[in-house]
Amino acid sequence: MYKCFKSNFNKLLFSFFAFELCFVCFISCQNQNNSSGTQSSGSEKKQYVNVVNWNLQTFFDSQTKGNEYSDFQNASKWSKDKYLIRLSNLCQVITSLNADIYVFEELENEGILYDISNQLAGRSWNLKENWNYAAFTCDNNSCIGLGILSKFPLSDLKSHSLDIRVQGESQPSSRPILQVKVQLNESELIILANHWKSKLGGQKETEIWRDWQEFNLAQVIDNICRQNTDNQKCKLLVCGDFNRDIEDFISLDDFMDSGKIYLRGFSLQDGEKTVELYSSWVFRNGLLLGETGSYFYEDSWSRIDNFFLLDSDLLLDFSAKAEGPWADENNVPVPYKIYTGQGFSDHLPIYCRLEL
């Protein structure tokens, strides 16, 4: 039986009114312990976890509440039957990739996570092989949010949002950062899920809002590191759709060798480099990994979906998954078309394997 929890968190107020928003949904299957790939080497136990991040491209349910995108309020274009087919196709991808943890962008609400969990519930008699835990967050003014689906218990859920009032213009709707702690058998992993402002309205015009979201992420990571006794070895995974290509982050001249980027810190004017992260796209070979990115637009690839880590040694494997029906023969993602009811997403899922 699933239970839904909503947790309130204290607001953190700064000069630009950043705060933690109090809208997090937590779904858990009670009295179950999950297992992961674990190997023993003498007295040392190593644990492995597979994570997939995927922007699902406006994944709405079949209920009309009035704040959906217009096509999904049109009964001639969108229906319960189309939703159920799309839900079934998503669940097939989930079982095909069989990751331990899925991070999704552009889910309408937590009810879809219930639907996914219920459809996958009978997948295995071994409850440890099912995805029994989930989390969701969404901005009050947004019709799409962030969701996490996990085989492992989740705890310490937090949602970090921004309320910017110093730009001389109204802040557009944006998604919070969803923070959860994954409780593994032998260790813990903190996940920070992101979905930054799109370039709709112009890349230059919207860049400032992605800068603010980057700034917010830097502060969240800084706070986590301050609570960790060994900052450089903090088991932290930052992931999501950043709507910013990996080459557009702040980096040093040796980026192609190190894969390191620097998040904007506490002074956007200075461009302070306060948080150093390792990008999965530069994976131990000094080159951007392969020709395929995660998002294909105007006949070119971009790498706007990403995994970032504080400790690059945790990363064992990474790829953009293009080998299923969600990609065509050229590895290009097959977007969902509401008028045909076919397709998956205009993004490819990205995958990583971690050793904790």
According to the model, what pLDDT value does residue 76 have? 81
* 206-244 tens-digit pLDDT: 888 899 999 999 999 988 988 876 545 679 999 999 999
According to the model, what pLDDT value does residue 166 have? 72
According to the model, what pLDDT value does residue 7 have? 33
According to the model, what pLDDT value does residue 272 have? 58
According to the model, what pLDDT value does residue 11 have? 29
- What confidence category does residue 4 fall into, taking pLDDT thresholds of 50, 70 and 90? very low
Amino acid at 78: W
Does the structure show a pLDDT above 80 at 309?
A: yes
Does the structure show a pLDDT above 70 at 158?
A: yes
According to the model, what pLDDT value does residue 229 have? 64
Rounded to an integer, the average pLDDT of 5-12 is 31
- What confidence category does residue 270 fall into, taking pLDDT thresholds of 50, 70 and 90? low
256 or 76, which is more confident:
76
* 84-128 tens-digit pLDDT: 999 999 999 999 999 999 999 999 999 999 999 999 987 767 777
